[in-house]
């Protein structure tokens, strides 16, 4: 049995190989890749490297009620702290204590489906989650994320690969960083 770190190293290795193969297919040969790669200038204040634990919510169709509970929606006096406390709690009540400031969130397909409430994006921002990676996003959530400076990236392989890898791994309680009712 492999541990979580070994599983993640395996996934990262597979992703690196996929990117390398795609670059070869798109650009031709290895030498063509080396000739055409140009570094992108990083703006002042943007870190060159980010280290965090990915919180993987192994579910598709996580709706806006799962992200931000409906009973907290129509309260003008709700604080940012309260929003952070309830973030994703309808999806999984174990999420709030697992996810920490700066941790990216990864989820399945059609993330943010449901109503057009903007609180789904704002509650993730309130939790200080800087990035959501999903197989796909619903259009309204994508727009709300942009409007609230929450970065969302669609990468279907970052859903498929962890599902394949972690379905074979039995995680101990202290090692579990996958959240959701299908993983309890």
Q: Are 90 and 136 in contact (CB under 8 A)?
A: no
- The pLDDT, as a whole number, for residue 67 is 94
Q: What is the pLDDT along the chain (184 residues), one digit of tens a residue?
A: 777 777 777 888 887 788 787 777 766 655 444 555 666 777 777 777 767 888 888 899 999 999 998 888 878 888 999 999 999 998 998 898 889 999 999 999 999 998 777 889 999 999 999 999 999 999 999 999 999 889 999 988 878 888 887 764 444 443 334 444 343 3
**Residues 6+ away with beta carbon under 8 Å from 182:** 58, 59
The whole-number pLDDT of residue 181 equals 39
Number of H helices, E strands in the chain: 8, 5
pLDDT for res 167: 60
Question: Which residue from 91, 173, 93, 170 is spatially nearest to 134, judged by alpha carbons?
Answer: 91
Q: What is the pLDDT of residue 72?
A: 84
Strands 55-57 and 151-154: unpaired
């Amino acid at each position: 049995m492999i541990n979580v770190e070994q599983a993640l190293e395996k996934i990262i290795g597979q992703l690196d190989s996929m990117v390398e193969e795609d670059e070869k297919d798109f650009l031709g040969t290895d030498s063509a890749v080396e000739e055409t790669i140009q570094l992108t200038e990083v703006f002042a204040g943007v870190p060159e490297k980010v280290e965090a634990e990915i919180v993987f919510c192994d579910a598709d169709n996580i709706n806006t009620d799962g992200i931000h509970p409906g009973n907290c929606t129509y309260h003008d006096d709700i604080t940012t702290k309260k929003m952070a406390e309830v973030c994703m709690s309808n999806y999984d009540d174990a999420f709030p204590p697992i996810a920490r400031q700066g941790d990216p969130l990864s989820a399945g397909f059609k993330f943010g489906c449901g109503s057009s409430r903007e609180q789904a994006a704002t509650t993730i921002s309130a939790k200080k989650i800087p990035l959501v990676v999903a197989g796909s996003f619903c259009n309204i959530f994508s727009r709300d994320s942009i409007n609230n400076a929450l970065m969302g990236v669609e990468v279907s392989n970052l859903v498929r690969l962890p599902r394949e890898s972690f379905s074979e791994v039995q995680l101990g309680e202290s090692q579990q960083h996958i959240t959701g009712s299908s993983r309890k």
